[in-house]
């Protein structure tokens, strides 16, 4: 064989790998910074968040299937941050624990239900919660923002048709101060205070709120057919005052008409409602925009499930927007909704909700929040965009929520803590010390037992370590692999696998010499016979690592990945370094010396077998 070629291939692999380490995408800072692998939460600290799951407002525990599906969606959302080795596990029957390595992050939003609803804006009133001033100049103005527009028409078209190119622009909001006086046809029928369709547990919560505010306040609120004008009836303001003391959870169980008509219920309370409080698409709901504009919204005629895809892109003005692609049925619903809003069918939108061009607006509602409420200026038959002065990160985050779907469970963040890196640093030192001691013991034993052959073991382990280190750095940048304490344990275990392959080869070499072959001819024969055993042993380890990686979660995946990677690289060193270097050693005089080569017990045996044959030749 020509060992120089194999050694050259190994050298080329090293050159390419470390060019990637120092100059690939993501490499920044000084030389030391470029040599740092991505470390896990247990080594460098990070953030740990506990989310408590509830199925509805009544606080019932979710089903096991829903909790597991929510865990998978949250894991996808967390991975969208660009961090691998994030650990997302269930704890008990209602908790999900998220552990994210690296710099501390705000993770509360990953548990948002992200239920997207498209609802027509029916009315707008002041949501400050205070008694409005009768002076028009002092009344706050609601100024919803955002635009909705179809995708750009194909290039080459002279002008878009009115049905496909309908721009939408922000419109002036509703008036504050005195409440509007809509005609009876514009006033939606008030929801009942109790309904057989409401779950019993929700009804019990509603009765508890009724007892808290008092019978007089409840009766006054239930009798409102439109937003109350407290400046015209000071006594009514005193009656409705208890509603301003309710919590967000308590406000959430009130009927939508009561939330909208009672002026002492503020946007602060409405924004504090639990996630998914207004998720029912068949009910009118109330949501705030800008923190003070209280919107009465129609039933949801387009849902998040009607959106096939969402991406963060730049529009023609270089602003970040979220591009929405609808399903075939979803596109039909969206077109029908924009046609209804554009024509203000049935005069459902009153004067407070119309834009500056007299057109209805469609609110894009994510959970309990209006993220955009553009005025519809035409019938949109193509894909659309959500705009709102997004940054790249905000647009990507929103697109990720919409792409990964709505959670089947609502969550509340219970505890978020920052994990210090002090303990992780001691773990890292302990892990590296254990790896160093393990390698040192292997090397000492190798030189003691194999002598010159021990140098082959030493060099092979050094090359394997350099390959593994470079691979960890590159994989950390390219696929987000994060090295944890469990991963270090997998690397330490791989040392034993590498030592086994040495023992198999060298002992097979001794057997060939004992059978009468010269050391030079014994090397290739020992390699052929030991190669199958080495490949089989390493293949079993790799398969075990693959199975463990597939069926495990969290840090155990890191252990399996590191073990498999280290084993593969050991096989690479076996074929491209160990066998070629042994071929070169076999041509040296030192290899024939029993004391130097490490073949001391095999070479004398060969000499003793050869002596009687020589004597018989002389006698003959």
pLDDT digits (tens, 9 = 90+) for 163-205: 333 334 333 333 333 333 333 333 333 343 333 344 456 788 8
**Residue 261 and residue 149 share a domain:** yes
Q: Which of 102-116, 128-142, 303-317 has the highest mean pLDDT?
A: 303-317
Q: Express each pLDDT in 314-344 by its tens digit.
A: 888 888 888 888 888 888 998 999 898 888 8
* Percent of the chain clearing pLDDT 70 (strictly above): 73
Listed residues 374, 406, 438: the one ending a domain: 406
β partners of residue 286? 296
**Residue 239 and residue 204 share a domain:** yes
Residues in CB range of 588: below 8 A, 6 or more apart: none
* pLDDT, position 108: 59
Q: Is residue 257 part of a domain?
A: yes
Q: Express each pLDDT in 202-240 by its tens digit.
A: 788 888 888 898 998 899 888 888 888 877 777 888 888
Decide: helix, strand or coil at residue 123: strand
Q: Is residue 413 part of a domain?
A: no
* pLDDT, position 420: 66
Residue 147 has pLDDT above 70, yes or no: no
Chain centroid to CA 52: how far?
18
* pLDDT, position 167: 36
Spatial distance between the Cα atoms of 84 and 506, rounded to a whole number of angstroms: 40
* pLDDT, position 296: 92
CATH number (domain holding residue 235):
3.30.1360.200
Q: What is the dihedral of CA 556, 558, 561, 567, to 10 degrees?
A: -90
Spatial distance between the Cα atoms of 577 and 467, rounded to a whole number of angstroms: 13
Is 377 within 8 Å of 415 (Cβ atoms)? Answer: no
260 burial level (CB within 10 Å; 0-12, 13-18, 19+): buried
* pLDDT, position 13: 92
* pLDDT, position 608: 46
Q: Is residue 394 part of a domain?
A: yes
Is 36 within 8 Å of 475 (Cβ atoms)? Answer: no
Residue 153 has pLDDT above 60, yes or no: no
Q: Is residue 590 part of a domain?
A: yes
Q: Express each pLDDT in 418-471 by its tens digit.
A: 766 666 677 677 877 887 887 788 788 878 777 777 788 888 888 888 999 999
The mean pLDDT of 106-133, rounded to a whole number, is: 74
Residue 491 has pLDDT above 80, yes or no: yes
Is 302 within 8 Å of 295 (Cβ atoms)? Answer: no
* pLDDT, position 194: 37
Weakest mean pLDDT among 83-97, 331-345, 491-505? 83-97
**Residue 566 and residue 507 share a domain:** yes
**Residue 457 and residue 367 share a domain:** no
**Residue 454 and residue 342 share a domain:** no
CA separation, residue 34 to residues 16, 263, 429 (Å): 15, 59, 20
Q: Which of 125-129, 245-249, 394-398 has the highest mean pLDDT?
A: 245-249
pLDDT band at 308 (very low <50, low <70, confident <90, very high): confident
Report the first-to-last Cα separation within the chain, whole angstroms: 39
CATH number (domain holding residue 61):
3.30.70.3400
Q: Is residue 417 part of a domain?
A: no
Chain centroid to CA 56: how far?
25
Spatial distance between the Cα atoms of 303 and 430, rounded to a whole number of angstroms: 53
220: its two tokens: 């006054």
Listed residues 356, 380, 406: the one ending a domain: 406
**Residue 299 and residue 205 share a domain:** yes
Sign of CA dihedral 341, 344, 346, 352: positive
Is 111 within 8 Å of 411 (Cβ atoms)? Answer: yes
Residue 609 zone, left/alpha/beta (φ > 0; ψ -120 to 50; rest): alpha
pLDDT band at 103 (very low <50, low <70, confident <90, very high): low
Spatial distance between the Cα atoms of 411 and 489, rounded to a whole number of angstroms: 35
**Residue 455 and residue 375 share a domain:** no
155: its two tokens: 């290039």
Q: Is residue 262 part of a domain?
A: yes
Residue 537 has pLDDT above 50, yes or no: yes
pLDDT band at 22 (very low <50, low <70, confident <90, very high): confident
Residue 62 zone, left/alpha/beta (φ > 0; ψ -120 to 50; rest): beta
CA separation, residue 354 to residues 137, 165, 178, 324, 338 (Å): 20, 20, 18, 24, 14
Spatial distance between the Cα atoms of 215 and 226, rounded to a whole number of angstroms: 20
**Residue 569 and residue 430 share a domain:** yes
Say which residue, 613 or 407, is predicted with more confidence: 407
**Residue 476 and residue 570 share a domain:** yes
**Residue 383 and residue 443 share a domain:** no
Q: What is the b/e burial string over 246-258, where b = at least 16 CB atoms within 10 angstroms of the residue's CB?
A: beebbbbbbbbbb
Overall number of domains in the chain: 3
Helix or strand (DSSP H, E) at 420: none
68: its two tokens: 């597991």
Q: Is residue 615 part of a domain?
A: no
**Residue 464 and residue 379 share a domain:** no
Range of the domain at 437: 3-36+422-609
* pLDDT, position 404: 60
* pLDDT, position 171: 34
* pLDDT, position 297: 92
* pLDDT, position 298: 92
Q: Is residue 269 part of a domain?
A: yes
Residue 487 has pLDDT above 90, yes or no: no
pLDDT band at 568 (very low <50, low <70, confident <90, very high): very high
CATH number (domain holding residue 601):
1.20.1640.10
CA separation, residue 86 to residues 42, 78, 403 (Å): 11, 7, 20
* pLDDT, position 618: 46
* pLDDT, position 81: 58
**Residue 198 and residue 90 share a domain:** no
């Amino acid at each position: 064989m020509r060992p120089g070629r194999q050694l050259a291939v190994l050298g080329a692999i090293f050159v390419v790998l470390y060019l990637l380490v120092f100059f690939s995408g993501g490499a920044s800072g000084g030389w030391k910074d470029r040599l740092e692998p991505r470390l896990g939460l247990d080594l460098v600290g990070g953030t740990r968040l506990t989310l408590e799951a509830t199925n509805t407002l009544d606080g019932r525990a979710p089903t096991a299937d829903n909790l597991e599906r929510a865990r998978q969606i949250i894991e996808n959302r967390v991975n969208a941050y660009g961090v691998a080795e994030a650990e997302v596990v269930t704890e008990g029957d209602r908790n999900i624990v998220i552990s994210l390595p690296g710099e501390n992050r705000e993770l509360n939003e990953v548990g948002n239900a992200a239920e997207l609803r498209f609802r027509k804006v029916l009315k707008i009133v002041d949501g400050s919660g205070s008694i409005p001033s009768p002076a028009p100049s002092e009344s706050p103005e609601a100024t919803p923002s955002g635009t909705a527009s179809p995708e750009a028409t194909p290039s080459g078209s002279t002008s878009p048709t009115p049905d496909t190119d309908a721009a939408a622009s922000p419109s002036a909001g509703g008036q504050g101060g005195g409440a509007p006086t809509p005609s009876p046809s514009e006033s939606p029928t008030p929801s009942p205070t109790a309904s057989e369709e409401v779950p019993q547990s929700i009804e019990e919560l509603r009765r508890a709120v009724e007892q808290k505010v008092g019978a007089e306040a409840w009766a006054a609120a239930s009798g409102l057919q439109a937003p109350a004008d407290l400046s015209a009836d000071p006594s009514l303001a005193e009656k409705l005052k208890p509603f301003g003391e309710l919590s967000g959870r308590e406000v959430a169980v009130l009927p939508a008409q009561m939330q909208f008509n009672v002026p002492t219920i503020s946007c602060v309370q409405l924004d504090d409602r639990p996630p998914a409080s207004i998720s029912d698409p068949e009910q009118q709901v109330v949501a705030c925009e800008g923190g003070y504009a209280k919107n009465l919204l129609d039933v949801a005629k387009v849902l998040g499930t009607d959106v096939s895809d969402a991406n963060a892109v730049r529009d023609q003005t270089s602003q970040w927007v979220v591009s929405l692609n609808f399903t075939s049925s979803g596109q039909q619903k969206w077109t029908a909704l924009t046609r209804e809003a554009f024509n203000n069918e049935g005069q459902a939108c009153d004067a407070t909700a119309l834009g500056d061009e007299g057109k209805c607006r469609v609110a894009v509602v994510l959970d309990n929040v209006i993220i955009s409420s553009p005025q519809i200026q035409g019938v949109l038959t193509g894909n659309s965009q959500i705009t709102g002065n997004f940054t790249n990160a905000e647009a990507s985050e929103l697109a990720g929520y919409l792409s990964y779907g709505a959670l089947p469970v609502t969550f509340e963040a219970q505890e978020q803590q920052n994990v210090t890196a002090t303990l992780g640093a001691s773990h890292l030192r302990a892990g590296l010390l254990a790896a160093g001691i393990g390698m040192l013991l292997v090397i000492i034993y190798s030189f003691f037992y194999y002598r010159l052959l021990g140098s082959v073991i030493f060099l092979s382990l050094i090359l394997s370590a350099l390959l593994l280190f470079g691979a960890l750095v590159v994989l950390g940048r390219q696929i987000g692999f994060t090295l944890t304490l469990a991963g270090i344990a997998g690397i330490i275990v791989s040392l034993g696998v590498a030592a086994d392959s040495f023992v198999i080869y060298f002992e097979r070499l001794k057997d060939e010499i004992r059978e009468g072959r010269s050391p030079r001819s014994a090397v290739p024969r020992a390699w052929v016979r030991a190669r199958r055993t080495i490949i089989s042993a390493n293949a079993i380890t790799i398969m075990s690592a693959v199975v463990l990686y597939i069926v495990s979660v969290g840090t155990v995946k890191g252990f399996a990945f590191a073990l498999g990677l280290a084993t593969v690289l050991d096989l690479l060193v076996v074929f491209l370094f160990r066998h070629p270097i042994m071929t070169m050693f076999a041509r040296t005089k030192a290899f024939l010396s029993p004391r130097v080569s490490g073949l001391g017990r095999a070479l004398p045996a060969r000499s003793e077998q050869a002596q009687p044959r020589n004597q018989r030749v002389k006698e003959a």
